């Protein structure tokens, strides 16, 4: 099954992110917004995994090494770059680098493809005027905060209307 390790975000963050998605879609670019129920911060994309029991134990060990912290959802970023926009994301940071330390520990312990923490807003199909898009949204920020007290092992099943996420295991931070 296809899995990743992440942090599901609370409703108030989803609401702010959805408002930004509406603005982006309304600007005329061709993109697919991430579904409300699927909004998350990815710590490591694992891909296909055979079983989740040992991963759950490894994630419990990782979580036990990290305390609770607060995440700030910040500015819009263009991935991989402003010149070649495939994904539009919101940066995710923490004041004391706790989020980045957690991401690195997850990647070192369970592996996978791990990128700097972010919340994906939409996957871009086509942008006619990249410069205008960057000018319009490059300084826009979400400015939401939330407390992180757990990480999740999440299964992603591709369906006709998009991915369906199921939390397979939850590990509480110490």
Output the six-digit token pair for 66: 């990290």
The residue among 1, 97, 10 whose CA lies nearest residue 55 is 1
Domain CATH number, residue 158: 3.90.1140.10
Number of domains in the chain: 1
- What is the Cα–Cα distance from 156 to 153, expressed in whole angstroms? 10
Contact 128, 142 (CB under 8 A): no
- Each residue's pLDDT expressed in tens, for the chain with a length of 174 residues: 999 999 999 999 999 999 999 999 999 899 999 999 999 999 999 999 988 889 999 999 999 999 999 999 999 999 999 999 999 999 999 989 999 999 999 999 999 999 999 999 999 999 989 999 999 999 999 999 999 999 999 999 998 888 999 999 999 999
Three-state DSSP class for 20? Answer: helix
Range of the domain at 146: 2-172
């Amino acid at each position: 099954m296809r899995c990743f390790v992440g942090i599901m975000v609370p409703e108030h963050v989803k609401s702010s992110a959805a408002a930004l998605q509406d603005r982006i879609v309304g600007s005329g670019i061709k993109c697919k917004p991430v579904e409300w129920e699927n909004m998350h911060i990815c710590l490591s994309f694992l891909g296909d995994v055979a079983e989740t029991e040992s991963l759950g134990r490894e994630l419990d060990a990782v979580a036990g090494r990290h305390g609770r912290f607060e995440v700030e959802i910040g500015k819009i970023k263009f991935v991989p770059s402003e010149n070649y926009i495939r994904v539009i994301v919101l940066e995710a940071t923490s004041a004391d680098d706790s989020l980045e330390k957690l991401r690195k520990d997850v990647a070192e312990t369970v592996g996978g493809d791990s990128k700097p923490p972010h919340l994906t807003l939409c996957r871009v199909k086509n942008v006619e005027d990249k410069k205008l898009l960057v000018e319009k949204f490059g300084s826009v920020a979400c400015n939401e905060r939330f407390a992180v007290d757990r990480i999740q092992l999440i299964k992603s099943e591709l369906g006709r209307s998009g991915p369906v996420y199921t939390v397979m295991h939850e590990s509480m931070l110490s």
